[in-house]
């Protein structure tokens, strides 16, 4: 266990550094001069002279070679300093942390909706295979997967925000602001969860130990709870972990539609303003979240199913 975790931590560090390195060098390929944008933001388009731009380059270290700039940034990261946003002047870590409550609220609520709706529909569809319920739930899950998030979000805003005036259509503050964006994200993920749950439960139901349990006269509900659901959880936990990692990085489109102040919107604003330190900080956060979630999933497998050996994941 200890050796496995150490290996995964080492791989996580390598992946995160590799992603940050690739992102850092790609930023300098993009069109536009960050020093010029800083000068325009600070002095205005008319007063952003060449001298002012050069002064900003020297002050921000943008006149140094790119490898040197990356080395300075990486050295700061290793000491816990992600740098400062070039537009707001605030520490990058503070900017990310300030968006975490909104991101966590949306991610947690959306995932609960996805698992609650998706697993329920998938289990019923599997148990009632080839019946009307199966066709209805399977078709509904396909529709949920196929509907674009932004279109569903706009339709919910139109119906519940504008026509019925039941819920706020944008912003962040109360639990009522959370309903529409969480439902928009949760529905599409619930479709994926439902289809995966259905196929996994059907596979488990065909196993010999399920037939043996039925032959012994165990109640269907007990078989479903004690044997089927537990053994069907591994792929469901996998997709839930991936979905949660995706949500923690911020759902960019939904955050833009509902003006939700999450990590995704922060990253989009940073890219738009060419705020390199903030972009790097957000990318580093996203890479770390995905690697950390995958590490937790691998470790959790051994506790969920003793037949799974961590050595298989090395």
Contact 127, 201 (CB under 8 A): yes
The model's pTM is 0.75
pLDDT at 36 over 80: no
- Residue 27 φ then ψ, to 5°: -60, -30
Pick the closest to residue 83 from 62, 102, 99, 100 (CA basis): 62
Q: DSSP letter at 61?
A: T
Tokens representing residue 197 in the block = 């749950």
Q: Is the pLDDT of residue 59 over 70?
A: yes
- Supply the pLDDT for residue 314: 47
Would you state the pLDDT for residue 313? 46
Reduce the DSSP state of residue 107 to 3 states and report it: helix
More confidently predicted of 288 and 43? 288
Between 117 and 300, residue with greater pLDDT = 117
What average pLDDT does range 225-254 have in this prediction? 76
Residue 183 CB-half CA count within 13 A: 16
Confidence of residue 83 (pLDDT cuts 50, 70, 90): confident
Mean pLDDT of 262-267: 85
Over the range 59-85, which residues count as b (16 or more CB within 10 Å of their CB) and which as e? ebebeeeeeebbeebeeebeeeebbbb
* pLDDT at position 43: 65
* Domain extents in the chain: 93-272
Flag whether pLDDT at 184 surpasses 50.
Answer: yes
Give the relative orientation of helices 175-205 and 149-156 as an angle to the nearest 10 degrees.
130
CATH superfamily of the domain spanning 93-272: MetI-like (1.10.3720.10)
């Amino acid at each position: 266990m200890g050796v496995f975790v150490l290996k995964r931590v080492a791989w996580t560090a390598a992946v995160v550094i590799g992603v940050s390195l690739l992102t850092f060098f790609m930023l300098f390929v993009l069109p536009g001069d960050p020093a010029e944008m800083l000068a325009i933001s600070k002095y205005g388009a008319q007063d952003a002279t060449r001298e002012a731009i050069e002064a900003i380059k020297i002050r921000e270290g943008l006149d140094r070679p790119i490898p040197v700039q990356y080395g300075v940034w990486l050295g700061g990261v290793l000491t816990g300093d992600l740098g400062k946003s070039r537009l707001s002047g605030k520490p990058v870590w503070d900017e990310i942390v300030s968006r975490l409550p909104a991101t966590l609220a949306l991610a947690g609520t959306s995932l609960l909706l996805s698992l609650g709706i998706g697993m329920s529909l998938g289990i019923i569809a599997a148990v009632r295979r080839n019946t009307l319920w199966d066709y209805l739930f399977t078709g509904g899950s396909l529709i949920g997967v196929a509907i674009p998030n932004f279109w569903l979000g706009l339709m919910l805003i139109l119906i519940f925000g504008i026509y019925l005036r039941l819920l706020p259509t944008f912003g962040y503050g109360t639990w009522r602001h959370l309903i529409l964006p969480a439902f928009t994200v949760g529905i599409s993920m619930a479709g994926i969860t439902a289809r995966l749950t259905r196929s996994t439960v059907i596979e488990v139901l065909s196993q010999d130990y399920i037939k043996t349990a039925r032959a012994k006269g165990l109640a269907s509900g007990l078989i479903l709870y004690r044997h089927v659901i537990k053994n069907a959880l591994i792929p469901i936990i996998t997709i839930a972990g991936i979905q949660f990692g995706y949500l923690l990085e911020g759902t960019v489109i939904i955050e833009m539609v509902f003006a939700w102040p999450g990590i995704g919107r922060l990253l989009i604003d940073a890219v738009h303003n060419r705020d390199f330190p903030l972009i790097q900080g957000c990318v580093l956060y996203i890479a770390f979240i995905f690697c950390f979630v995958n590490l937790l999933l691998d470790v959790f497998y051994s506790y969920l199913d003793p037949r799974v050996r961590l050595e298989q994941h090395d």
